[in-house]
């Protein structure tokens, strides 16, 4: 009898994911800081981020039926290698031309195209690498990777930005992604994709429509991901306001921003450890999640009005709660979704999440330049609190069914 989640394949995908996230964390903060330092505009900083999201609004929906009908491993591994090589080419380009904002927009757009295909394939593949019965442990580990890496790498990324040229950071990311792909090569993909139905263009259209028909029947999935789409957009917009607030305050600094991010990620790490050790009764997932969502938005609302030491505590609590809710949601939703629907449903809501991120980045970036960073955060988090009621609390009968889902063994 298996005692934990750590099968060979799960261990390999975890190692590969850790290395990949180290790379993405190393580049994300320096790139955002560079654009703001060069342009002194939250709107242009938001525009760079948005450019990278635009492909992920369209491409996942188009490509999802193909991913659902084919093996996921070649896609994930191949695109990891492709991303690694692309980052190395970017490093060479940036070394030769320096900072040109329009060039960075093109780079961001191309990375968005590659990343959107990779992401939807990874999300569809990952649940199959978790041994049945250990879903909460598996998603607790998965959800903990990003915060665990960030707690170390956010201050490192800020330090690297201050000490080395940006092209060397691109080189580091490229090498890390190639190493990540090499670990993933050794995963044994034993799950066979179901290629039922007609092939060709008609079969493709039928596959796409099957996802839409599924969502029409499963309102709980629609409500849950509608909320996640909105609040992810709000969260990214608030993150931009927080970054600008720290960069323009006489009492704060970029290093202190890195420490703030580490405090939140420490909370996420502790929350992940809690979820790994303590299995939450499926019938209690919905109730726990409602409370966490409300508390999280209230913590976001007051963050920029607090003394710096209290900000650290605020972010730790927010990180802990965010990890608990994310793990319970993914455990529930991915257990509820049939395997042949994962890529299509994840694609639809991945696109929705990214669309709202674009809208909120534009909105908060524009408003931040006019009204000030604190006021914009209060407005946006008030909207997010309203969405907790509309999408999570009010449609209880639909959402509770999803949160109580338990995964069963599927045919291999």
Residue with tokens 């290629």: 195
pLDDT: is 307 or 339 the higher one? 307
State residue 313's pLDDT score. Answer: 96
Question: Can you tell me the distance from the alpha carbon of 371 to that of 214, in angstroms, rounded to the nearest whole number?
Answer: 43
Domains of the chain by residue range: 8-184+198-403
State residue 410's pLDDT score. Answer: 52
The model's pTM: 0.68
pLDDT per residue as tens digits for the range 291-315? 999 999 999 999 999 999 999 999 9
Contact 408, 232 (CB under 8 A): no
pLDDT per residue as tens digits for the range 132-141? 777 778 888 8
Contact 259, 155 (CB under 8 A): yes
Mean pLDDT (the chain) is 83
pLDDT per residue as tens digits for the range 245-287? 888 888 888 778 878 888 888 898 888 888 888 888 888 889 9
User: Which CATH code, of 1.20.1250.20, 3.30.830.10, 3.40.1160.10, 3.50.50.60, is assigned to 8-184+198-403?
Assistant: 1.20.1250.20
CA angle 115, 11, 8 (to 5 degrees): 120
Would the pLDDT of 11 be above 80? yes
Identify which of 25, 32, 5, 263 has the alpha carbon closest to the alpha carbon of residue 146. 25
Q: Please give the radius of gyration of the chain, using alpha carbons only, rounded to the nearest integer.
A: 21
- Give me the percent of the chain exceeding a pLDDT of 90: 23
């Amino acid at each position: 009898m298996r005692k934990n989640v750590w099968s060979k394949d799960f261990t390999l995908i975890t190692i590969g994911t850790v290395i990949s996230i180290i790379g993405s964390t190393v580049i994300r903060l320096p790139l955002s800081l560079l654009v703001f330092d060069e342009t002194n505009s939250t709107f242009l900083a938001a525009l760079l981020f948005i450019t990278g999201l635009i492909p992920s609004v369209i491409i996942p929906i188009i490509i999802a039926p193909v991913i659902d009908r084919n093996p996921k491993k070649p896609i994930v591994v191949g695109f990891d290698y492709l991303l690694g090589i692309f980052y190395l080419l970017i490093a060479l380009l940036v070394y030769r031309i320096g900072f040109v904002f329009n060039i960075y927009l093109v780079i961001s757009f191309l990375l968005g195209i590659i990343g959107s295909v990779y992401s939807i394939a990874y999300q569809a593949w990952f649940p199959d690498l978790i041994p049945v019965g250990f879903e909460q442990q598996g998603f607790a580990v998965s959800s903990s990777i990003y915060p665990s890496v960030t707690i170390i790498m956010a201050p490192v990324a800020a330090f690297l930005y201050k000490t080395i040229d940006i092209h060397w950071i691109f080189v580091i990311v490229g090498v890390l992604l190639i190493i990540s792909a090499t670990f993933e090569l050794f995963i044994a993909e034993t799950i066979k994709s179901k290629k039922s139905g007609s092939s060709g263009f008609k079969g493709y259209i039928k596959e796409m429509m099957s996802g839409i028909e599924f969502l029409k029947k499963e309102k709980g999935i629609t409500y849950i991901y509608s909320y996640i789409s909105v609040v992810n957009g709000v969260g990214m917009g608030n993150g931009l306001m927080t970054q600008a607030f720290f960069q323009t305050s006489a009492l704060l600094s970029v290093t202190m921003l890195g420490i703030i991010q580490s405090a939140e990620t420490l909370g996420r790490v502790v929350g992940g450890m809690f979820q790994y050790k303590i299995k939450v009764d499926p019938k209690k997932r919905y109730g726990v999640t409602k409370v966490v969502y409300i508390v999280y938005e209230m913590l976001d609302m007051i963050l920029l009005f607090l003394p710096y030491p209290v900000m650290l505590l605020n972010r730790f609590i927010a990180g802990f709660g965010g990890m608990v809710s994310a793990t319970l949601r993914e455990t529930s939703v991915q257990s509820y979704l049939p395997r042949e629907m994962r890529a299509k449903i994840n694609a639809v809501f991945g696109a929705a999440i990214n669309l709202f991120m674009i809208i909120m980045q534009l909105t908060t970036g524009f408003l931040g330049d006019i009204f000030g960073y604190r006021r914009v955060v209060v407005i946006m988090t008030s909207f997010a609190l309203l969405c907790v009621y509309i999408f999570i609390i009010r449609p209880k009968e639909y959402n509770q069914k999803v949160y109580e889902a338990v995964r069963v063994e599927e045919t291999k």
